[in-house]
Amino acid sequence: MAANTDRLTLGLVVNPRTRLPFLATYNETTDRVGIWDARTLKLEGDGYYETDEDSEYFPPAAETGYPRVHTPSGVKNKGVGNGTALYTALCLGAWVEDYGLASLDVGPQSGEGISSGPGASAAAQKWWQAAETHGLATSEEHRQDKEFSDEDFSGQVSTSDMDSILGGDDYDITYIDRLELSGTRLGEEETYYEYPTDAALSNSLIIARFVIEVEAGPRRGLLLEKDAVEEIVDADDTEVAELAAIYALNLSGVAPGVIYLLVSLLEQGNVNPTLMDAFLKRATLGKDPEEGEMFETYDPRRQNPQRRRRRTNPKMADINRSVREIRKTLGWDALVDLP
């Protein structure tokens, strides 16, 4: 059986479509950034940064100032918005590296954001194009010109061409032995995309940033134990981007360890006690407002057996309403169509 391995946590990101949180980590052995499903604590997908400055894939990094990323395997559950969570995790990783909070191998070009360009897979291109349409990413056209030196053009130039170049009536070129030229070969226009950290933060896609090591088991997935949560909360570098985003998350089926982490972060931020009580109630019931009204069941130990039925809790309806209202302020609704 494979042994547990360490992962460097980067923080929490969110899928704006499902509103579910994902833990972002960095594998220091494979240099890959991964996202872990908050319900199962299993790896959902990963990607990596282009580190070869001489690679044909590197130019977007050189031009934008942001590391070029690759996501060859994508995510396991496709078409539901998890791709956005993965790219946001890569964006978070670049932010962590650029701030010097941890050493990630992002290549020779570091910056608070990520980039992409020619050579990306069809699925990746689809995401970047959609991200630009929805205002999360931007693009620019660039042309990669390449210098050449002492290149033989003998077979590409005719004697009549040389006659014209040299002055027409003054020359009658009959044979070209060797024609060597140096210069610049003009490249084709290519599209480079960039996704800056500021865009992730302004759309509340990065929930929190924290850098500690946790274990990942081959069967149990990410081992988010109580001690790890307490270390996250106590760390000086832990930063919650927006408390309202934590409150507005989808808590349906979220693992107890992640709930404990979210509650701890809210407590650290001195969130309003009323909102904390509402958050705990939602976490206990485990149903999201978008799935319909939440219900509570009469306790048979305190209620007449003849009345053992479900009823809508008016207070729960108010909580649902407050969650929906807060979500409208976070920018998630505008990004629900991202793959």
Residue-wise pLDDT tens digits, 103-123: 899 988 878 999 999 999 999
Backbone angles phi, psi at 5, to 5 degrees: -125, 155
Where do the structural domains in the chain lie, given as residue ranges? 5-142+190-335, 145-186
Cα 151 to chain center, whole Å? 44
Residue 47 has pLDDT above 80, yes or no: yes
DSSP secondary structure code for residue 112 in this structure: S
Residue 74 has pLDDT above 60, yes or no: yes
Is the whole-model pTM more than 0.75? yes
- Per-residue pLDDT, 308: 38
- Per-residue pLDDT, 306: 41
Distance, CA of 276 to CA of 266 (rounded, Å): 7
Which residue(s) pair with 36 in the sheet?
23, 43
Distance, CA of 138 to CA of 152 (rounded, Å): 41
Distance, CA of 125 to CA of 87 (rounded, Å): 12
